[in-house]
Amino acid sequence: MGTSYNITYQSSIKPNKIQKDIDSILWHIDQSVSTYNKTSFITSFNQSQKDNFFFNPTPLEKHFVDNFIASKEVFKYTDGYFDPTVMPLVNYWGFGYKERRKLNPSDSTTIQEILTYVGLDKLELLTEKTELNLIKKDKRMELDFSSIAKGYGVDMLAKWLRKKDIQNYLVEIGGETLAKGVNPQNRNWIVGINIPKSKANLKAFFRKVSLENKAVATSGNYRNFYIFNGKKYAHTINPKTGYPEINSLLSVSVLADDCMTADAFATGFMAMGLEKGFRQAQVLEKIEALFIYNDEYDRMKVVKTNGFTDIE
C-alpha cells in the first residue's frame, strides 16, 4: 500500500507470533486490489479489453468484490463524488501507476473524452451460475480502490485480532485507524488529526479525537500534490469535472463504525467540497465528520457534525 502500519493490542500473544499472519493478510489484499502490483487481480481487470469480465469468487477475489460493493454504496450516498473509476483521470494527472509525463492541463478535449468512461454506475456486477460477471459499458474503464482499500485493510486486520480473542486494540494503516476496547491506561484510545499543512510534522496535531469502538480516517490535499508552472495540482480528482478538485477544504476526518466506510467518505467529502460535503455528512446515519478549511482571510477554521467530539 506504499505506507506503514501499526498495531497496538493487549494479549499474551507475542508480536512475532502474529506478524506473519498480519503480513499475509496485507499481502493478499495487495494481490487483489493494488494498481501498482502488475500481477494483482485489479490490474488484470484494468488491462482487460473485454466488456464482460468473468471470474470465480475465490478468497483472493473476495477482497476485490468487497471493495467494489462498498464503493457502490458510498458512490450512491456521495452523489457520485466518490468514484473508483477515476483511475484513467488519476493516471492523466500523474497520481496513478503510470509514469508521470509532461502535463497539459489545457487539454480539455482529452479530459472530456476520459469522462465518457468514468462513472461507477457504468459497471455492473452480476452472478452467472458459479461465476461473477463484471460488465464494463466501455472497455477503457479502470478501477482504483486506493481511497477505500487502506480502510478495508484495517478492518481485515481488526477482524483477525478478534478471531484471536483480542478485545483491546488499535490498528492503523497510513493514518486510517480503528480502535476497540481500551488503551493501556484503561481509557478510550486517543488519536491525532494532523495539521493540514504540507510541511507539518506527522506528529503535529490540529485536533485529537477519542475513539470508543470507532474508526477514523482523514483525507486531504496538503501532502500528495505537485507544482506545475506555478500552479498546485492535488491528488483528489473531481469525477464530475475531470480536474483536480480546488476548494477551500484542507482535510476531512470521518468517524464510522468501520474504517472502510470512514476512508471512502473522507475522500468523497473532499471531492464534494465544504458546503456539499458538510451538508451530506449531517444527514448520513452513523457518520460523523470534521472539516478543516481556509476562510476568505486564509485562516484555518473547523466545522463538524454534532456527533464528532474532538479534543483541542
- Residue 177 has a pLDDT of 98
- Residue 223 has a pLDDT of 55
Residue 95 sits at the vertex; the CA angle it makes with 139 and 137, to the nearest 5 degrees, is: 15
- Residue 309 has a pLDDT of 85
What is the H or E stretch that residue 76 is in? helix 59-77
Q: How confident is the model at residue 266 (pLDDT cuts 50, 70, 90)?
A: very high
At 305, is the secondary structure helix, strand, or coil?
Answer: coil
CATH number at residue 193: 3.10.520.10
Percent of the chain with pLDDT over 90: 69
Within-domain flag for 299: yes
At 84, is the secondary structure helix, strand, or coil?
Answer: helix
Within-domain flag for 9: no
pTM listed for this prediction:
0.92
**Does residue 269 register a pLDDT over 90?**
yes
Q: How confident is the model at residue 128 (pLDDT cuts 50, 70, 90)?
A: confident
| pLDDT tens digits along 168-213 | 999 999 999 999 999 999 999 999 998 877 666 667 788 999 999 9
Residue 255 sits at the vertex; the CA angle it makes with 6 and 197, to the nearest 5 degrees, is: 70
Within-domain flag for 5: no
Residues of the domain holding 189: 176-311
Of residues 196 and 312, the one with the higher pLDDT is 196
CA–CA separation, 107 and 295 (whole Å): 31
CA–CA separation, 182 and 179 (whole Å): 8
Phi-psi region of 35 (alpha: psi -120 to 50; beta: other; left: phi over 0): alpha
**Does residue 146 register a pLDDT over 90?**
yes
Of residues 211 and 245, the one with the higher pLDDT is 211
Mean pLDDT, residues 272-299: 94
Decide the pairing of beta strands 231-234 and 225-228. antiparallel
Of residues 245 and 305, the one with the higher pLDDT is 305
Within-domain flag for 134: no
Within-domain flag for 119: no
**Does residue 37 register a pLDDT over 70?**
yes
Within-domain flag for 197: yes
* CA terminus-to-terminus distance, the chain: 31
Within-domain flag for 301: yes
Mean pLDDT, residues 202-227: 80
**Does residue 121 register a pLDDT over 80?**
yes
Within-domain flag for 67: no
Which of 28-42, 100-114, 216-230, 243-257 shows the lowest per-residue confidence on average (mean pLDDT)?
Answer: 216-230
| pLDDT tens digits along 41-98 | 999 999 998 888 888 878 778 999 999 999 999 999 999 999 999 999 988 888 777 6
**Does residue 102 register a pLDDT over 80?**
no
Tally the domains of the chain: 1
Percent of the chain with pLDDT over 70: 90
Share in percent of the chain as helix, strand, coil (round to 5): 35, 25, 40
Distance of alpha carbon 258 from the chain centroid: 12
**Does residue 117 register a pLDDT over 90?**
yes
